[in-house]
Amino acid sequence: MDVDLRKLRYFVAVAEELHFGRAAARLHIAQPVLSRQIRAFEHELRAELFVRDRRSTVLTEAGRQLLADARPLLASAEALRRRVQRAAHARPTFTIAFMPGIIVTAEARAIGQRHPDLSVGVVRTSWNDQVEVVHEGRADVSYVRLPVDQRGLRLRPLFGEPRVVVLPGDHRLAGKESIDLAELVEERLLQDPDAVPEWRDLPNRPTDPDPRPRPVLSSVEEKLEHVAAYGGVAILPLSTATFYTRPDVVHVPVNDLGPNQVCLAWAEGNRSPLVHEFVDIAVRRAQAIDRSPGATGE
């Protein structure tokens, strides 16, 4: 049986909304049409995907499994569509994604100089979409900061760099040359703890040091605004902290935090020779740059 991608998209919308009415509005179709399509999809899969009554819609175990598998499948299909469309254009394109603090000018120029007919573009990403851009085909390669979900990706390590804590300028720790992570145990971390796994392992860390919900922050600038307003602290790679400077925040090295690992990522299914050529350029460039603290190679 071939999986119908249209029905799969309908399923994902319902699974994310857990409400047929909202999902139908999101998909711009009538709710009865959506209900029929989901029932037909369940019949094709020979599995019940939702338990639904008048008050709620809940995923079954089969539904949860399908949702986990559906997202990367749909992303791959979208990436395929984008790559085919780009191949159909008279002038080929190559897009490089990068995280804040990482400069890719030299690499972009190098691939462009090797292929004068190639249109080279760049796109800045964030913690939330640094891998999605390659899954969805919006970028051919992406400079990512670990940890990331590596499913469906190929990764090539490039370099590591120290991590620092960003504090308000008048914070009690602001004047120190360096600190240990344990000295931050009472602080409110503004990021998703998945971005700083060591944070969860801190001994004697209060279960709920701050009752306020963690803000949803999509950019470094937003993190710095919250830090400056005493809304919490942020752990950032050194290059990011030094790139986004402002007078009311400071950054302090953290002794017992390992370096942030930067890798080049691309979709497993992307077989373009340009990708492998760019990987070689990026690796050579990373090896040539001194990234020790205080260096100015980047």
pLDDT bracket for residue 79 (50, 70, 90): confident
Q: How much is the average pLDDT of 27-56?
A: 88
State the average pLDDT for the chain: 87
pLDDT bracket for residue 294 (50, 70, 90): very low
Give 283's Cβ-side CA count (13 Å radius): 10
* Per-residue pLDDT, 26: 86
- Tell me the per-residue pLDDT of 262-284, one tens digit each, with 9 for 90 and over: 999 999 888 889 999 999 999 99
* Per-residue pLDDT, 210: 61
* Per-residue pLDDT, 295: 46
- Tell me the per-residue pLDDT of 89-116, one tens digit each, with 9 for 90 and over: 656 889 999 998 899 999 999 999 999 9
Supply φ then ψ for residue 237, to 5 degrees.
-65, 150
Q: How much is the average pLDDT of 134-152?
A: 90
Across 33-47, 136-150, 195-209, least confident range:
195-209
Cβ atoms 227, 152 nearer than 8 A: no
Domain positions in the chain are 5-74, 89-161+260-288, 163-253
Topology (CATH level 3) of domain 89-161+260-288: D-Maltodextrin-Binding Protein; domain 2 (3.40.190)
If one compares 193 and 86, the residue with the highest pLDDT of the two is 193
Q: How much is the average pLDDT of 238-261?
A: 92
**pTM of this prediction?**
0.67
Topology (CATH level 3) of domain 5-74: Arc Repressor Mutant, subunit A (1.10.10)
Whether residue 49 is predicted with pLDDT greater than 80 in this model: the reply is: yes
How far apart CA 251 and CA 161 sit, in angstroms, is 14
5-74 and 89-161+260-288 have identical folds: no
Whether the ω angle into residue 253 lies within 30 degrees of 0, i.e. cis, is no
CA R_g for the chain: 23
pLDDT bracket for residue 180 (50, 70, 90): very high
Short-list 249, 105, 225, CA closest to 170:
249
Whether residue 204 is predicted with pLDDT greater than 60 in this model: the reply is: yes
* Residues above pLDDT 70, as percent of the chain: 91
* Per-residue pLDDT, 89: 63
- Tell me the per-residue pLDDT of 209-237, one tens digit each, with 9 for 90 and over: 566 677 778 788 999 999 999 889 999 99
* Per-residue pLDDT, 298: 42
Cβ atoms 266, 141 nearer than 8 A: yes
Domain 163-253: assigned CATH number: 3.40.190.10
